[in-house]
Structure 1
C-alpha cells in the first residue's frame, strides 16, 4: 500500500480539513488507527514536509451515533482544556484545530499534537507508576482556570447498578445504600474526570523500569468541576480492576502522600469511592475490551466483574 493510499483511509472531507491546518508544503502521508479508546475513533497521522521530514498529529473523531450526540460538548471541553493546559505544568496535547459540529468533516473531530510515550497497563513496575500517577493528579487538581468547566455529572443511580453474578450481596446492598444519600458538600476542583492508566503516557526505559516518568495525559473530553475525591476514586477503581483491589485502595494513600487533599471524613470519602466503583458495574464489558486489545487477555469480563466485587467488598469493609 502506498503512502497516498494509507492517507486516504482518513475520510475525504476530514482529510481536506486536516490539510488546511498544516504548514505550507506539508501533507498527510500515513494514517494509523490507535486502539484503546471507547468513545471515539483515534488515528495517528504522519505529516510529511517538502524536505523529507515528518511529524505526527493525532485525529480524534466521534463516529458512533451514541457518542456523536455528545460530541459537540465533549470537543468544546477538550479544546478549552488543551488551550488552558498550555500555561500549566500539566503535559497535554496541543490543540491544532477542532470541528465540534462536523461543519467541515464527516464527523465531529479534533486535531492535536502527538505526545511521546505510551500507555502501560502491565502489573510489572506498578509500585513505581502509582506514585507518579498520584503526583500527576495532584498537579491537575492544582490548575485554577479563570472559568471552570461545567459541573461533573454522575449518571449512575442506586437503581441502575448491576450487581455481578455471585457477588457479596450484603456488601453490594450496603454500597448501593451509600449512594442513595445526597452527595457530600465539596470544594470544586478542576477535574480530568477520566484520569486512569489508559489515559496517561509513560516513558519506561526497558533497562530501568524504576526510572519511568509520565510524558503526558490525554483524553480531556469530559473535563469538569467537582470534588478531587471523584478523580481519585475513578483512578482507584481502574487500578483495582486492572491490577487487583489492593492497588485501588493504595492509590488513595498515594494521592495524599503526594500532597492531595480529600474529603475530611471517612464516610464522605467512601461515598465517592463507592459511587465510582458502582458506576463501573454498568460497563464492565465496555471497559475491559480495550484492556484485552492491549494484551491483558486474562481480563475477561467475568474476571473484571470478580475484581470489582472484591473491590466493593474491600471498600465496605473499611467501615468495620
Structure 2
C-alpha cells in the first residue's frame, strides 16, 4: 500500500466489506496531507482455491478497469495490482472506492430491474480495441445437480438442451458476473422509489461472448433473490432498454437454461452471502426451490 500512496498520506482505518464469495474486500480510509480523507478498496484472494486462479482473474480485472476509464460505465479506477503476490502476502488489487451500496431487498425491485437492464446494455456497447478472452462455461450436462424434489421431467429436458452445441452468436463485451450483488445503488431515504446506479464492481470474469449470457446470469440471480417471475422479466427489460438478444427462442433457451443449471452446482455459495447481507430467509432449501421453479418456468416459456 505504501508504494501507492502520495507523500504524507497514511492508512487510518480499514473496514471489511461483506457479500463477496471469491475474495476478501476491505475499504481503506486514507488520511491526506490536507487534513481530509479518501477511500480505496483492496481486493485480496486468500482462499487457496481462489488464489490459484487469482493471477488470471486480477490481470483481467486490471485490464477491464483500465479499459473502462472514461467509457461512461461506472467502474472503479485502477490504482495498482499484484496478481502474482510478488509484493503482497496474497494476490491483490487496489482500486478507487465508489459511493453507494448493494440493494438485495424485495422492496423496490420493480424500479431497480429497468436500471439494471439499461446498465447492462451500456456495458455491452463497450467496444474494446483488444477483445478480452472468449467466455468460458464450465457446466456440463453431467455436472448439473438436480435439486431434491425438483420437477424431474423439466430438469431432464433442460439438461438435454445444454447437450447441444452452443448456438452461433455476435460477440459483445461481457461483465460475466453482472447481478445485483455487483451493482451499487444510491437509494435516497426514506423511499426506495428513486434509486440510481453509482457503480458496477467485480470485473474479474470479463469476457467476450453473447449478450444472452450476461442477461441469463442476471436473470438467474433475480429469480433466486426475488422469485422466478423477476428472472423471466429481466430479458424483457433488457430488450426494452435497447439490448439485442438471440432471435430464435431455442437459442435464448440455451443460454438461459445453461446459466440456471450452472447455479445448481453452487446453491450454498450463492445463498450464504445473501443471508449475511440480511436476507436470512434465503436458506439453501429456499434458493434451491426457487431455482427449480425458475428452470421449470423457462422450459414452459421457451422450451
Alignment TM-score > 0.5, same fold? yes
Matches within 5 A, 1:122-141: 122-141=105-124
| 1:312 aligned to which of 272, 275, 295 | 295
Residues of 1 paired with 2:66 and 2:99: CA distance? 19
The partner residue of 2:238 within 237, 245, 255 is: 255
Q: Which runs of 5+ in 1 are unaligned?
A: 1-17
Note the alpha carbon deviations across 1:15-71, whole angstroms, 9 max, x for none.
xxx111011100111111111000101100000123321110000011111111110
Segments of 5+ residues of structure 2 without an aligned counterpart are none
Instruction: After superposition, give the CA deviation of every residue in 1:127-150 in whole Å (9 maximum; x if it has no partner).
Output: 100000000000000000000100
Poorly superposed stretches of 4+, deviation over 6 Å = none
SS at match of 2:80: strand
Deviates more, 1:51-60 or 1:124-133: 51-60
Alpha carbons of structure 1 residues 58 and 281: separation in structure 2 relative to 1, 3 Å: same
Does residue 1:240 correspond to 2:208, yes or no?
Answer: no
Displacement of 1:272: 0.1
Structure-2 residue corresponding to 1:185: 168
Q: Describe the superposition over 1:156-193 as per-residue Cα deviations: whole angstroms up to 9, x where unpaired.
A: 00000000000000000000000000000001100000
Residue deviations 1:81-130 (CA, integer Å, cap 9, x gap): 00110121100000000001000000000000000000000000011000
Describe how 1:111-190 pairs up with structure 2 within 5 A.
111-190=94-173
**Aligned 1:98-113 pairs, distance under 5 A:** 98-113=81-96
Q: Spell out, residue by residue over 1:218-273, the C-alpha distance to the aligned partner (whole angstroms, 9 max, x if none).
A: 00000000000000000000000000000000000000000000001000000000
> CA–CA distance in 2 between the matches of 1:282 and 1:231?
18
Partner of 1:81: 64
Aligned-partner Cα distance in 2 for 1:27–1:222: 32
Name 1:202's counterpart in structure 2: 185
SS of the residue aligned with 1:46? strand
* Match in the other structure for 2:282: 299
- What residue is the counterpart of 1:9 in the other structure? none
- For residues 283 and 290 of structure 1, the distance between their equivalents in structure 2, rounded to whole angstroms, comes to 12
Distance in 2 between the 1:45 and 1:99 partners? 17
Q: Secondary structure of the residue that 1:180 maps to in structure 2? A: coil
The count of corresponding residues between Structure 1 and Structure 2 is 303
The answer for the alignment partner of 1:30 in structure 2 is 13
Q: Are residue 280 (structure 1) and residue 266 (structure 2) matched?
A: no
TM-score by length of 2: 0.99
Q: 1:69 aligns with which of 29, 49, 52?
A: 52
In 1, Cα distance between equivalents of 2:68 and 2:94: 16
Mapped partners of 2:45, 2:302: distance in 1: 42
CA distance in 2: counterparts of 1:97 and 1:215, whole angstroms:
22
Shift of 1:208: 3.7
**How big is the alpha-carbon RMSD for the aligned residues of Structure 1 and Structure 2?**
0.7
Q: Does the residue aligned with 1:25 lie in a helix, a strand or coil?
A: coil
- Return the match for 1:268 from 233, 241, 251: 251
Distance 2:70 2:108 in 1: 31
